[in-house]
Amino acid sequence: MADDKSKHDAEHAEGHGKREPSYLVAQRGLKSWLFTIDHKRLGLMYLGSTLLFFFVGGVAAILFRTELLTPAGDFIPWLLSHLPTALGGTGGDVEAAVAQSATTYNKLFTVHGAVMVFLVIIPAVPGSLGNFLLPLMLGAKDVAFPRLNLLSFWVYTLGACFFLYTLFAGGLDTGWTFYTPYSSTTGTAVVSALFGAFILGFSSILTGLNFMVTIHKMRAPGMTWNRMPLFCWSIYATAVIQVLATPVLAITLLLLVVERTLNIGIFDPAMGGDPVLFQHFFWFYSHPAVYIMILPGFGIISELVAVHSRKHIFGYKAIALSSVAIAIISFIVWGHHMFVSGQSELAAIVFSFLTFAVAVPTAIKVFSWVATLYKGSIQFNTPMLYALMFLFTFSIGGLTGVFLGTLSVDVHLHDTYFVVAHFHYVMMGGTIIAFIGGLHHWWPKMTGRTYSVWQSKWAALLVFIGFNMTFFNQFVLGQQGMPRRYYTYVPQFQQQHMMSTIGSYILFLGLLWIAIYLLASLRRSAAPKEPLPDNTWGGASLEWSTQTPPIEHNFHGQPRVDTDPYNFPQIDRTGEVDHH
């Protein structure tokens, strides 16, 4: 054992001596990026595209939040009548603008939801950070199937093109849930959107498969399952869901395409189909998908909390296994989206019970993260600020889920703003906050650049304030009876809607600021004089042991592992008797 360690150290030192060109410059030219099979470059390309779509989805949200400043429909008609026809407006025709305004609102919230779910949150963490980090953390040269990885990316791009086509072909107004029979009858571009989501599903499946095999087969010598960073565990649990659940979505969407194009009744009662069947199929995928979205976020938080407090993560096994438990249980709770849909009472009761079962492993994680802080050495670096913010927002998201899992209370809250607030606290306050935190944590490793510390901290504050201002209100709105997806609303709700909209502006500014200083750090003139240190934060997992940014093949020689990734040198080992 001691032998391994010294060997590893020796290789390490050697690596420092002769700096090799990083993966960013190892090959040059556009082609070397577009057809790269390097997981790190693919990670960066996913990062770029998901952030671009995050912006698109965000702009849509800002537009409809502006509309909701007042109870009546006024901003969208104004906007439409001032836009030239080439941009989808009516070029001064006020009457036509008014006639199209409700549909436009519906298209905006659909674009926001569909883009954020299918193009941003599902692929964001696995695609960018997952791709970049997984082989590095495992001590591997690349993922198991690098070419398949490239294919995943291009399949993702193709799916995204279908979505873009949908936008230009008049948009989509079904909501991201595509509920039938509305989606089988509406005149908007449903088929291309369905194909887009269908294709994106394949990208997701291929990535999941690749990651699963990578984790099984490519771990460095000495890296037992229990010495794997928790981020890898969460990616593993995610991959299992991606591979098992996504095919169901794909088939469901395909059935809907068949119904629309060939007029075969599957979900539309007018043709003898069953609309509730669609909801079962849809949520059979989309509930597990919620965990495709959040589990990688959990993984990030485990890393950030441990590294920035230099403490061994508390309850490693509980955190790792609760990810797997959540992944498994997530397959049998889909009916909690359908308590009032007309499914049987017995089904509703069973689904409610199982839903409560997911709450326990989730609570365990939160407690374990907080316990990790105990007797640590906590430094409030920007990534750590996001991790602490996550504990705040995600706790609210998780706790409000209990309301929705409770049968009688959900009858009142279902399809109101309470649900909107809940899933934004989980998806945005959970996944996106963790993602931004992770981005700040690994940014130096990925790009070899550093961002402005003071700017990043102020921006984090803006995001925190803006986020809570936007969404906390919406719990109240929902519990007061404000239904979701409403273009106009009764005047009683205006105060809270206004507060929400102002919050969304603050949030948007905060996010924009982050984009600006991160992009600024990439300018040629912002390049650091001296290459950055390999280990930015004093992390103990393998990605910190290699050069920053990493070389093309990740490591000089094969790294070996003889301890777990949370064994920081600062940990006080005195008083431990039975360590060896």
Partner 1 sequence: MILSMLMEPEQAAQAAADATKAAEAATEAAKAAPPWETLSPWDTLPQASTFAEGTDALYLFIVGISVFFFLLVMAVQAYFMWKYRRLSEDQKTSSITHNGKIEFLWSAIPAVLLVVIFVWGEVDFLKQTVPPNDAVQVRVTGRQWFWTIEYPDYPGVQLTSSVDESQVTLMVPKGQPVQLTMTSEDVLHSFYIPAFRIKRDVVPGRYTTLWFEATQVGEFNLYCAEYCGDQHSAMIGKVKVLEPELFAAALADAGKLEQEPSESLAAFGERIYSRRGCNACHSLDGSPKTGPTWKGLWQKNETTDKGAVLVDDNYIKESILEPNAQIVNGFTGVKMPSYKGQLDDKHITALIEFMKTLK
- Looking only at residues 361 through 400 of this chain, which bind partner 1 when binding is defined by CB under 8 A? 363-364, 366-368, 370-371, 373-380, 388, 391-392, 395-396, 399-400
CA distance 580 to 578: 6
Amino acid at 90: T
Closer residue to partner 1 in complex, CB, 66/103: 103
Residues in the interface with partner 1 (CB under 8 A) total: 98
Question: Positive or negative CA dihedral for 144, 245, 130, 567?
Answer: negative
Closer residue to partner 1 in complex, CB, 203/372: 372
**168 C-beta neighbours (distance < 10 Å), count:** 10
Q: List residues bridging with 551 in a β-sheet.
A: 22, 554
For partner 1, which stretch binds (CB under 8 A), given 144-152, 214-222, 230-238, 488-496?
A: 488-496
Q: Are the CB atoms for 469 and 397 separated by under 8 Å?
A: no
As given in the structure block, the two tokens for residue 558 are 């094969």
Closer residue to Cu ion in complex, CB, 45/427: 427
**Rounded to the nearest whole angstrom, what is the least distance from the CB of residue 281 to partner 1 in the complex?**
15
Exposure of 267 in the CB half-sphere (CA atoms within 13 A): 25
Amino acid at 539: G
Binding partner 1 by CB under 8 A: which of 213, 254, 332, 402?
402
As given in the structure block, the two tokens for residue 255 are 């059935």
Q: Which does 6 bind (CB under 5 to 8 A by kind): Cu ion, partner 1, none?
A: none
Closer residue to Cu ion in complex, CB, 157/406: 406
Is 175 among the residues that bind partner 1 (CB under 8 A)?
yes
Helix (H, G, I), strand (E, B) or coil at 113: helix
Is 316 among the residues that bind partner 1 (CB under 8 A)?
yes
**Rounded to the nearest whole angstrom, what is the least distance from the CB of residue 241 to Cu ion in the complex?**
12
**Rounded to the nearest whole angstrom, what is the least distance from the CB of residue 105 to partner 1 in the complex?**
9
**Rounded to the nearest whole angstrom, what is the least distance from the CB of residue 219 to Cu ion in the complex?**
32
**Rounded to the nearest whole angstrom, what is the least distance from the CB of residue 24 to partner 1 in the complex?**
30
Is 311 among the residues that bind partner 1 (CB under 8 A)?
yes
Is 403 among the residues that bind partner 1 (CB under 8 A)?
yes
- Looking only at residues 176 through 205 of this chain, which bind partner 1 when binding is defined by CB under 8 A? 179-182, 185-186
Binding Cu ion by CB under 5 A: which of 260, 287, 441, 449?
287
Is 342 among the residues that bind partner 1 (CB under 8 A)?
yes
For partner 1, which stretch binds (CB under 8 A), given 150-158, 238-246, 333-341, 516-524?
A: 333-341
Per-residue x/- marks for partner 1, 266-295, CB under 8 A? ---xx---xxx-------------------
Q: Are the CB atoms for 195 and 161 separated by under 8 Å?
A: no
As given in the structure block, the two tokens for residue 66 are 């502006």
Binding partner 1 by CB under 8 A: which of 486, 505, 513, 517?
486
Closer residue to partner 1 in complex, CB, 22/341: 341
Q: Which does 217 bind (CB under 5 to 8 A by kind): Cu ion, partner 1, none?
A: none
Is 490 among the residues that bind partner 1 (CB under 8 A)?
yes
**454 C-beta neighbours (distance < 10 Å), count:** 9
Closer residue to Cu ion in complex, CB, 397/510: 397
Closer residue to partner 1 in complex, CB, 32/570: 570
Q: Which does 572 bind (CB under 5 to 8 A by kind): Cu ion, partner 1, none?
A: partner 1
DSSP character at residue 245: H
CA distance 175 to 308: 40
Q: Which does 52 bind (CB under 5 to 8 A by kind): partner 1, Cu ion, none?
A: none
**Rounded to the nearest whole angstrom, what is the least distance from the CB of residue 373 to partner 1 in the complex?**
4
CA distance 257 to 249: 12
CA distance 573 to 91: 73
Residues in the interface with Cu ion (CB under 5 A) total: 1
As given in the structure block, the two tokens for residue 155 are 């399949």
For Cu ion, which stretch binds (CB under 5 A), given 154-162, 190-198, 202-210, 282-290?
A: 282-290
CA distance 336 to 324: 20
Amino acid at 119: L
Q: Residue 399 class from Cβ within 10 Å (0-12 exposed, 13-18 middle, 19+ buried)?
A: middle
CA distance 42 to 45: 5
Q: Are the CB atoms for 548 and 444 separated by under 8 Å?
A: yes
User: What is the per-residue DSSP string for 298-367?
Assistant: HHHHHHHHHHHHT-PPTTHHHHHHHHHHHHHHGGG-GGGG-TTTT--HHHHHHHHHHHHHHHHHHHHHHH
Q: Which does 287 bind (CB under 5 to 8 A by kind): Cu ion, partner 1, none?
A: Cu ion
Helix (H, G, I), strand (E, B) or coil at 526: helix
Closer residue to partner 1 in complex, CB, 352/456: 352
Cα separation values, 74 from 64, 78, 86, 371, Å: 11, 6, 21, 50
For partner 1, which stretch binds (CB under 8 A), given 127-135, 160-168, 189-197, 571-579?
A: 571-579
Per-residue x/- marks for partner 1, 516-545, CB under 8 A? ------------------------------
**375 C-beta neighbours (distance < 10 Å), count:** 10
Q: Which does 55 bind (CB under 5 to 8 A by kind): Cu ion, partner 1, none?
A: none
Query: Where do contacts with Cu ion occur on this chain (CB under 5 A)?
Result: 287
